[in-house]
Amino acid sequence: MNSEPRGAVEPGPVVNVRTGGFGLGYRSELMDEISNAAYVDTLEVLSEQFFDSKSRELLRELAAAYHVVPHGTGLSIGSFTRPRPEYLQSIRQVCDEIGADYYSEHLCMTRAPGVNMGHLGPLLPSRASVDIVARNVDIVQNELGLPLALENITQPLILPSPDMSEAEFFSEVIDRTGALVLLDITNLYTNCVNQGRDPDAELSHMPLDRVRHVHLAGGRWRDDVLVDSHSHPVPDAVWELLKTVSSITRNFNLIIEHDQNYADPATIVSQVARAREVVLT
Ligand SMILES: [Fe+2]
């Protein structure tokens, strides 16, 4: 395995990656239903699940039948410490196995030296954070030789910052790095509901021209907080936001995220058909 960096990915207005796919996050519990749904052509895999070479056979089988796109949770792109070379090497092996043309991660922090938070921690929206993320995005794109798509996360509170708002921070990072956007519409909606903001206004501040990947999911209420639990059907308000996004761009792959509560696989998987209809009509 060649461990040399592949070279910089030039930031720029146009990054051509394969888009137009509709599907779900790969979950073994859903595969019987998915295999009977001809409208599902794309699966998103969690790269960390396939770091072990013993799991690669399954990865190859999935890639033979579907457009497989890799996604991760452990990069910690906002950490002051640099991305770990061995972790990047494992990602690169997964990407090579499926011929990925981009890699996606959350704009967040999950690690500090010696500590794995086990949680997607929000970053302080500051110029210092932009600098750190920009340095790390360069390292990752250089090592993988692929563009990185950054995902907006849910967070329970607004971190106070004199520099910029959460949406300005996201846009600043994308402008500065040339990274692509994984727009999680449910995350945007959930933050707006919990923080008392208007989702349409929030959406209008996102760099939609850089979107190449979209997530939809459904959460649940816990007391008076909307929790992004990936356990329920996508709510109507999120479908409406998808309509708005689709009126601006359709240049993305769309993934339904459903990670628990598999009692009704038909309903879960059929959301992919609805997504196709919303985006394409
Ligand atoms: Fe997501």
Q: What is the mean pLDDT of each run of 10 residues along the chain (281 residues)?
A: 55 74 98 98 97 94 98 95 95 96 95 82 93 97 96 88 89 95 98 94 94 97 93 97 97 97 96 98 91
Q: What is the pLDDT of residue 160?
A: 83
The answer to whether residue 70 is domain-embedded is yes
Distance 105 CA to ligand 1 centre (A): 9
Distance 228 CA to ligand 1 centre (A): 9
Distance 211 CA to ligand 1 centre (A): 13
* Domains of the chain: total: 1
The CA-to-CA distance between both ends of the chain, in Å, stands at 45
Burial class of residue 152 in the structure, from the number of CB atoms within 10 Å of its CB (0-12 exposed, 13-18 middle, 19+ buried) = buried
The answer to whether residue 17 is domain-embedded is no
The answer to whether residue 16 is domain-embedded is no
Burial class of residue 38 in the structure, from the number of CB atoms within 10 Å of its CB (0-12 exposed, 13-18 middle, 19+ buried) = exposed
The answer to whether residue 2 is domain-embedded is no
Distance 189 CA to ligand 1 centre (A): 12
Distance 214 CA to ligand 1 centre (A): 8
The tokens of 198 are what?
A: 């208007």
Distance 151 CA to ligand 1 centre (A): 7
The answer to whether residue 60 is domain-embedded is yes
Distance 182 CA to ligand 1 centre (A): 8
Distance 2 CA to ligand 1 centre (A): 31
The residue among 84, 57, 85, 229 whose CA lies nearest residue 154 is 229
Distance 281 CA to ligand 1 centre (A): 24
Domain CATH code at residue 161: 3.20.20.150
Q: Are 255 and 279 in contact (CB under 8 A)?
A: no
Distance 187 CA to ligand 1 centre (A): 7
Distance 215 CA to ligand 1 centre (A): 5
Distance 131 CA to ligand 1 centre (A): 24
For 77, the domain range is: 22-280
Distance 209 CA to ligand 1 centre (A): 18
Distance 238 CA to ligand 1 centre (A): 13
Distance 232 CA to ligand 1 centre (A): 14
Residues with Cβ within 5 Å of ion ligand 1? 184, 215
The answer to whether residue 7 is domain-embedded is no
Q: What is the 3-state secondary structure (H, E, C) of the chain?
A: CCCCCCCCCCCCCCCCCCCCCEEEECCHHHHHHHHCCCCCCEEEEEHHHHCCHHHHHHHHHHHHHCEEEEECCCCCCCCCCCCCHHHHHHHHHHHHHHCCCCEEEECCEEEECCEEEEEEECCCCCHHHHHHHHHHHHHHHHHHCCCEEEECCCCCCCCCCCCCCHHHHHHHHHHHHCCEEEEEHHHHHHHHHHHCCCHHHHHHCCCHHHEEEEEECCCEEECCEEECCCCCCCCHHHHHHHHHHHHHCCCCEEEECCCCCCCCHHHHHHHHHHHHHHHHC
The answer to whether residue 47 is domain-embedded is yes
- CA 10/CA 144 separation, integer angstroms: 13
The answer to whether residue 8 is domain-embedded is no
Compute the radius of gyration of the chain from its Cα atoms.
18
